[in-house]
Structure formats: C-alpha cells, structure tokens
Amino acid sequence: MEKISARISGTGTFIPSLKKGNADFLQEKFLNNDGSVFSSKNDEIIEKFKAITGIEERRYARAEYTTSDLAFFASERAIEDAKIDKEKIDYIIFAHNFGDIKHGTIQGDMLPSLATRVKYRLGIANPNCVAYDILFGCPGWIEGVIQAQAFIKAGIAKKCLVIGAETLSRVIDKYDRDSMIYSDGAGACIVEKTEEQDSGILSHATQTFAKEEAYYLHYGGSFDKSADQNIRYIKMYGRKIYEFAITNVPVAMKAAMDKSGVSIDDVKKIFIHQANEKMDEAIIKRFYRLYKKQVPEGIMPMSIHELGNSSVATVPTLLDLVLKGKIKNQEVNKGDLIMLASVGAGMNINAVVYKY
C-alpha cells in the first residue's frame, strides 16, 4: 500500500530592511495600563526587557509594504527554492492575524483574503489553486503546514504554499512597553507529497485552550487614556502567557514526539516560536525534563535577538535562515530529525516532528 506523507521542499523569507534597536525606545513615554507613568527610567526598563526577552533589535517593514507584500516576496523565494511550477500549487494557506495594514493606519484589510492577494501577485491563473487565510495566533504557520499535510494525505493536493507573515509594528501602542517585543516579517514554504519512507512530517499535535485563556492576547485601547479608546492595539497579559506556555507547550511537544515513533535522543534541532528567550529556554528545559533528559547543547536556534517577535513569521523565517546557513553554528542536514513548536493567541499550541 502506498505510503503518503508530506515534506517541505523549499523555503523562503523576507526580512524587512528597517532596523529599530533598543536604544531607539529611550525617548518613548511608557505608561502602566491605568495610564500612570512608570517609576523606572527608560534605560532601566529597556535593560530589564533585554535581559528577559533577549531582543536587542527588531525589523519593521518599509512604509510602502503591507503584510501581503512581505508574503509575496517570501513566497517567490520558496517557489524558486522548491523548483516547482507555481501553476501546480493546489493550495495557498496564509497565516496572519491582522490582515493588511497600511502604514499610518490601524485598520486591518482582509477583503479579499491575503492568500488571494498573494495568488494574484504571483500571477497564478489556475482556478484550482485554492487560496485561503487562517487566523490561529502565532502558531498559524505551523498549523498551515499541518493542514497542508492533511490535504496531501487525503489525496486532494500534491503541492501547497504555506505562508506566515505579519506587520505587528502597525498594531502596537507606543505607550505600552510590550511594543518593544513586536516586529515584522514573512516566511513561506512549499509542502509537497512524498513517498519516501520515514521522512517529512512524522507526527503533530495541536490544542486550543479557551476556558480561561482565550483573552490572554487581545485587542485593547491605548495606555494613554487621553487617546481615542476606540482605536485598538495588540495587548497581552505577559505573566499569564509565560506561565501558560512553560506549563503546556512541553506537554504538547511530548504528545507529538510520542506519536512519531522516534526517540527524543535523535532530535537535532527544535525550532520554537521566537517570543521570549527566557520563556523558550524554560519550555525546552521542561520538555526534556519530561523524558528525564538534559537539554543538548545547540538544540535551539534563535533569531529573536536581531529580528524580534514577528508572530507567525518567526518559525518559518528561523527555519529558512538555518537551512540557508545564515545562523552561526546552526545547520540541518538530510536525515536530521527536527521539531517545530509554537504558542500564541487563542490560546493555541502546536508541535510537529519532522525528518529531513
């Protein structure tokens, strides 16, 4: 009986050119959520921020680009890397959270869908190439990969383009110190049918926690109470998210690992959502602790120091950068076992075990 799986045959990224370092926030006026002024000075706030998150700088998109523009650029590179005919793509799955937001505005635009916009920009004429968006928080791109595999295993697709892109710099409240976390970027990949034994996606796990956790990430008014409170920005309960993530993500990762039929000892790299360096380190440590193991050195590539948190774009951009040899002392080779994992708004968690 034919065994069908799905493999990533090409990757591409678009890293915006505008850099914003931590020092660029020294003149900002940070406020508490009740509108009161912080007792700490900005240099102290920024120093503590860097110690916790690991972020030293982040990237912002140029004014003329929107989220779907970044996605188009990354998609072109993924298609070229996979060496496929774009007209043979069966699905375009685009993970984002805020749509296209023009520079200087706050309103998200999702009509038509961003996936449709990318298909239009790519010039794909085939009407059987189905384009749609998914809103799944930061784990959206990984969930798109999982959906692509489902289509392939069901026999209704052979090639899928999966994109994660965001311009978070346009939905941040400048009075909120959490604004320093967010950045812009895009990553894409081609997921293709494969009949290779024990390669490609081996297993996955996904969960949504909404009983108490649904609004840990949400839209809210500016911390500047004199501003129009009907204009909404991305907000989060950072401590709650941290505690949720370090408790639940390792368990989901173990669920995926245990279904894969392979050993944790064989894992070469773990590509985890670049949200917070301390949080990611704690997740990986707890994951290995579930197997009574120590964390192997160099297991977790990081890009957050220079690129910040670009939500759905962090995992695909990190993967592409490592595959292309652009992160020092990190590589993935044929036959390597890796994991992908993420956590974000919903609250959603997912993990994939993959063999190159």
Q: pLDDT (tens digit, 9 = 90+) per residue, 227-273? A: 888 889 999 999 999 999 999 999 999 999 999 999 999 999 999 99
Q: How far is CA 237 from CA 133, 168, 221, 345, in A?
A: 26, 17, 14, 11
Those residues with Cβ within 8 angstroms of residue 326's Cβ, 6 or more apart along the chain or in another chain: none
Question: In which band, very low, low, confident or very high, does the pLDDT at 332 lie, cut at 50, 70 and 90?
Answer: very high
Question: In which band, very low, low, confident or very high, does the pLDDT at 3 lie, cut at 50, 70 and 90?
Answer: confident
For the beta carbon of residue 108, count every other beta carbon within 10 angstroms.
17
As a whole number of angstroms, the distance between CA 151 and CA 197 comes to 19
Q: How do residues 44-80 score in pLDDT, each as one tens digit?
A: 999 999 999 999 999 999 999 999 999 999 999 999 9
As a whole number of angstroms, the distance between CA 234 and CA 98 comes to 10
Those residues with Cβ within 8 angstroms of residue 128's Cβ, 6 or more apart along the chain or in another chain: 90
Q: What distance lies between CA 263 and its chain's CA centroid?
A: 26
What's the pTM value of the predicted model, to 2 decimals? 0.95
Q: Mean of the per-residue pLDDT values for the chain?
A: 95
Q: Which domains does the chain have, with CATH numbers?
A: 5-194 (3.40.47.10), 200-355 (3.40.47.10)
As a whole number of angstroms, the distance between CA 64 and CA 294 comes to 47
Question: In which band, very low, low, confident or very high, does the pLDDT at 105 lie, cut at 50, 70 and 90?
Answer: confident
Q: What distance lies between CA 128 and its chain's CA centroid?
A: 27
